[in-house]
Amino acid sequence: MGAGGMPEVPEEPEEPGESDVPITDVPATEGQSLFVRSSDPGQNIAGFEFCCAQYDTYQEHGFTDAQGDFIKLDGGFWGADIAGHIGERVFSSYGDGYEDDTDTTAAQLGPGATGEISSPAFVITKDYINFLIGGGRNRFDGVNATAVVLIVDGAVVRQAPGNDEENEIVWTSWDVRDLEGQTAVVKFIDHHPNDGSDTAVPYILADEFRAADKAAVAPPAASKVPATPVLSAAPASEGASAFTRVGNPGQNIAGFEFCCGGYNTYQEHGFVSTGDIIRLNGGQWGADIAGTVGERLFASYGPGFADDMGSSGVDYGWEATGTMTSPQFTVTTRYLNLLIGGGTNAYDQPLATAVVLRVNGKIVRHATGNGMEKQLSWVSWDVSALIGQTAVIEIIDRHDNSASTGACPFILVDEIRAANKAAVAPVPSSIVSTAEGHTQLLNLDMADANPYYENGVYYIYYLQNLGFHSWALAKTSDLLNSTFPQEVLPASGDASRQDQFVGSGSVLKAQDGQYHLFYSGHNADHAPVEAVMHATAADNTLTKWTPVAADTFSGSAGYSDFDFRDPFVYWNQSAGKYWMLITTRHSSQAAIGLYTSTNLSNWSAEPPLYIEASPLNFEVADQFTLGDTPYIVYSDQRDASRQVKYLQQSGANWIKPSFDALDGKWFYAARSAGTAGERLLFGWVPHTVGRVDHAGPDFGGSLMVHQVASLGSGALAVSMPQRIRDGLAAIQPIAMEWSAGGVSAIGTTVNMEANSAFTLAELGVKNRMAFKVTSANAGSTFGIQLRREISGQPDERAFLKIDASADKAEFYFQGEEGAASNPKVAVPLDSSDGIDIEVLLDPVAGVGAVYLNRNRALSFRLYALANYQVGLFSNADGLTVTDLSRYTK
């Protein structure tokens, strides 16, 4: 074992003669240009001394297979600012270029440009290939690759990443004596989109490729891509489990040797599960699956439970679908070995049955099943390029067995192990190196959100809805797509520590530019039960945080240390101090507490900002100012009024306004981030018990985002975020699928008699609607109708009833109006003036929201939303619906 108990990675064997490498004193002129332009052999294209043919200049000069932004490059980039360059120009993946062949104005593509391109083919005739390289440090087989590789017979045989210097290139050499006489190409790779997912320089620089009999420098051992792995004779016991369970590291969860926890067994053991997998009862008995190690394995079908109230199991067949992500782990060995069976559809196919390795949330390795129903086979990934990085393994089954594709509609996995010997030879096609395909729909299964905004990007930090509620992060710029979630601040799971569980908090950039994260530590058997904890960012990715144990503190000066959580920290400019709002109790009353600090380490208790007699608390308080009006948003924990509400400041006091609830009780624990021009409120819509419609709410749920604004009266309002409107802008048909009573339509106007209804088609993708409803009766009652047709049975219907006479809206299923668990919201309404309505429907997440007059929202849960038509109904009064429209992405 190496230092700190890390496994030692064996050295690559030294090739004969490697220790006796002749080094040239003049690498810039040693030998000859490595490749030439066939139509102009005298032009130094291997030194990139060409330009200005505009769009697609490289391919016009003999380079091939330009992909991504590289087709835009205008040849060699002026090298005056690049230390170490030879001649006038260099290869730069961020250099000058043109958008298309009609563009006449060159502009720098910038560090976000990505792509690939290959040199002209050449025959290896010399012992060494020397060249200058700079830019990003990531290998071709790592995440965010910025590298140059040598390819022979379609396989990478040599590689070189940059030196992680922004404007400097240095010599490197490849020993190619064993490749003499073979035809090769050099490929230039930049798969780094400059998205802040790591700290590497996000581009590649290169210059002066030369074939020579002397090396410029000693060829790095890592430049040779290993062709022959060291194989293990006993892969089932080679190395160690790739990942472990927090709080019970001795349990072999990487071998799926657990079961029988009922509904949600996998998440109870540290896996993030979606779809039907959340219902499976843990590792499946493997007696009839050849190759199984131990007693159990993962199968994406098998025994499970419909909900967490059930005592009798349900068998989920091959129609079951979902994904499952392992606990996070650090790559410490050369290989990851795993057993796999089942379907052969790759991860990027619609009916995928696959396993992928993600680093920084991005896919870097993949495998599919072996096509066999009852047999497992070993697969090995070479992960030597990823050593020291944090990773997860994601198991994917998107095959619902509704159509025969010739592939098994499930995936089998067992015994995922980290080792320095491979079970079998890794296949080069297992490497995934691309700038695209790593994002997902913004659909988070979460507990409390703790968002942070910077440079157009929302960092959605949130509590994982499993285990000890470790913090995770997904980033979005459009509120429709996001990065793959990463765990960024783990709970310890240790019954003796304050951070056995972690809870809500906040992220801020301090006045000195340092990033800080404040969070809650919770342990029911610890004194104190709750405390505020502090961590600082290890780098600017904001994914790695270092706890500052000395800064932990709990309630004092009359504040409870039993309820002391959800720290929200910000710089109070007028006070000249940092303020921390706390969920707590003071003098046996619910309080939004206040602590202040000048250095973010030492905090002083101040009188509460708000206090009220209540048996429960005011959670996740959040303070912001819009215009000149300060607001506090909080979540009322009381069952009867469990809603996101707000306070207004009146002098030195904070008061409750009329209509203080911003949404109904199916939107909770919301906190905000953004700018004065765009402030967004991130909360969650609860799952139900068993994740089925008609059931009561459970803890945790799906993300919902509203935009907040200050009305002229000073009241706070919520509406659909403009980013969602902008992203869902493709006009969809508004033809009626069904109607009842007197309904007539002309263009985008629909006239509805009393007691009538209509619906538009169901959609399986996120969509939005907008329209205005007017009635002669200012207090009319009408609403949104959701209708699901079921062959041979009565329709299933859900309603969002808008009662202008009572200034309220309510969501309910047919026959359940008025139930205590129904979401309701109060909002001033007048049908004679017209009510502007927007509807957001997210069938993938199974949630929706209705926005009334850009003032209030009513969020709801409907898992089967993809199967429901949507429209309107009238009651005793006729309605006019104008400007009816519907949009998707």
What does the alpha-carbon distance between residue 505 and residue 567 come to, in Å, rounded to a whole number? 5
Write down the pLDDT at residue 4. Answer: 38
Query: Tokens 């990027």 — which residue?
Result: 348
What does the alpha-carbon distance between residue 511 and residue 567 come to, in Å, rounded to a whole number? 18
Confidence of residue 732 (pLDDT cuts 50, 70, 90): very high
DSSP, collapsed to helix, strand or coil, labels residue 235 as: coil
Write down the pLDDT at residue 13. Answer: 43
Look up residue 495 and give its two tokens.
């019954």
Mean pLDDT to the nearest integer, 262-286: 94
Write down the pLDDT at residue 645. Answer: 98
Mean pLDDT to the nearest integer, 480-485: 98
Query: Tokens 């007059």 — which residue?
Result: 853
What does the alpha-carbon distance between residue 228 and residue 431 come to, in Å, rounded to a whole number? 16
The sign one gets for the Cα dihedral 240, 246, 249, 255 is negative
pLDDT digits (tens, 9 = 90+) for 203-254: 999 999 999 999 999 999 999 998 789 999 999 999 999 999 998 999 999 9
What does the alpha-carbon distance between residue 389 and residue 199 come to, in Å, rounded to a whole number? 13
Query: Tokens 């929201």 — which residue?
Result: 849
The answer to whether residues 622 and 581 touch, using CB atoms and an 8 Å cutoff, is yes
Query: What string of DSSP letters covers 159-175?
Result: EEE--SEEEEEEEEEEE
The answer to whether residues 733 and 759 touch, using CB atoms and an 8 Å cutoff, is no
Look up residue 600 and give its two tokens.
């973010």
Query: Tokens 């380490």 — which residue?
Result: 601
Q: Which burial class, exposed, middle or buried, applies to 776 when counting CB atoms under 10 A from its CB (0-12, 13-18, 19+)?
A: exposed
Nearest to 7, CA basis, from 260, 326, 237, 331:
331
What does the alpha-carbon distance between residue 678 and residue 669 come to, in Å, rounded to a whole number? 20
Pairing mode, strands 322-325 and 390-397: antiparallel
Mean pLDDT to the nearest integer, 804-821: 97
What does the alpha-carbon distance between residue 306 and residue 304 come to, in Å, rounded to a whole number? 7
State the Cα torsion 709-714-716-721 to the nearest 10°.
-10
Nearest to 709, CA basis, from 506, 509, 853:
853
Write down the pLDDT at residue 18. Answer: 53
pLDDT digits (tens, 9 = 90+) for 406-463: 889 999 999 999 999 999 999 999 999 999 889 999 999 999 999 999 999 999 999 9
Query: Tokens 């219907």 — which residue?
Result: 797
- Alpha-helix residue ranges (DSSP H) falling in 511-620: none
Pairing mode, strands 808-813 and 284-285: unpaired
Confidence of residue 405 (pLDDT cuts 50, 70, 90): confident
pLDDT digits (tens, 9 = 90+) for 671-715: 999 998 999 999 999 999 889 899 999 999 999 999 999 998 999
Query: What string of DSSP letters covers 128-149?
Result: EEEEEEEE----TTSTT-EEEE
Amino acid identity, residue 325? Answer: T
Q: What is the mean pLDDT of the chain?
A: 95
Q: Which burial class, exposed, middle or buried, applies to 249 when counting CB atoms under 10 A from its CB (0-12, 13-18, 19+)?
A: exposed
Look up residue 447 and give its two tokens.
């507990």
Q: Is the pLDDT of residue 809 over 90?
A: yes
Biggest CA–CA distance in the chain, Å, is 95
What whole-number percentage of the chain has pLDDT above 70? Answer: 97
Write down the pLDDT at residue 14. Answer: 46
Angle at 772 between CA 769 and CA 777, to 5 degrees: 140
Q: Is the pLDDT of residue 19 over 80?
A: no
Look up residue 169 and give its two tokens.
């290139």
Q: Is the pLDDT of residue 104 over 50?
A: yes
Upper half-sphere CA count for residue 295 (Cβ side, 13 Å): 7
End-to-end Cα spacing for the chain: 52
Look up residue 497 and give its two tokens.
């520590």
- What are the phi and psi torsion angles at 766 (to 5°)? -60, 135
| Sequence-separated (6 or more) residues with CB below 8 Å from residue 519 | 450, 471, 489, 502, 503, 504, 505, 532, 533, 534, 535, 567
- Residues counted in the chain: 889
Query: What string of DSSP letters covers 251-307?
Result: S-GGGT--B---TTHHHHTT-EE-GGGGGB-BSEE-TTSBT--SSEEEESSEEE-SS
Look up residue 826 and give its two tokens.
């109060």
List b or e across 610-642, with b for residues whose CB sees 16 or more CB atoms inside 10 angstroms: bbeeeeebbbbbbbbebeeeebbbbbbbeeeeb
Q: What is the pTM of this model?
A: 0.94
Q: Is the pLDDT of residue 15 over 70?
A: no
Look up residue 582 and give its two tokens.
């706390």
Which domains are delineated in the chain?
32-223 (2.60.120), 240-436 (2.60.120), 441-724 (2.115.10.20), 728-888 (2.60.120.560)
Amino acid identity, residue 809? Answer: A
Write down the pLDDT at residue 2. Answer: 39
Nearest to 843, CA basis, from 814, 873, 870:
870
DSSP, collapsed to helix, strand or coil, labels residue 56 as: coil
Write down the pLDDT at residue 261. Answer: 86
Could you check whether the bond before residue 528 is cis, i.e. omega within 30 degrees of 0?
A: yes
Look up residue 171 and give its two tokens.
């010599």
Strands (E) in 326-428, as ranges, are 329-330, 335-342, 353-359, 362-368, 377-382, 390-397, 411-419
Q: Give me the residues paired with residue 378 across strands.
A: 339
- What are the phi and psi torsion angles at 324 (to 5°)? -145, 130
| Sequence-separated (6 or more) residues with CB below 8 Å from residue 440 | 481, 482, 483, 484
pLDDT digits (tens, 9 = 90+) for 51-84: 998 999 999 999 999 999 999 999 999 999 999 9
Query: Tokens 């530019």 — which residue?
Result: 513
Q: Which burial class, exposed, middle or buried, applies to 496 when counting CB atoms under 10 A from its CB (0-12, 13-18, 19+)?
A: exposed
What does the alpha-carbon distance between residue 322 and residue 483 come to, in Å, rounded to a whole number? 18
Nearest to 647, CA basis, from 739, 563, 714, 736:
714
| Sequence-separated (6 or more) residues with CB below 8 Å from residue 280 | 265, 266, 273, 300, 302, 303, 304, 316, 320
What does the alpha-carbon distance between residue 241 and residue 243 come to, in Å, rounded to a whole number? 6
The sign one gets for the Cα dihedral 803, 808, 810, 815 is negative
The sign one gets for the Cα dihedral 582, 584, 590, 591 is negative
What whole-number percentage of the chain has pLDDT above 90? Answer: 93
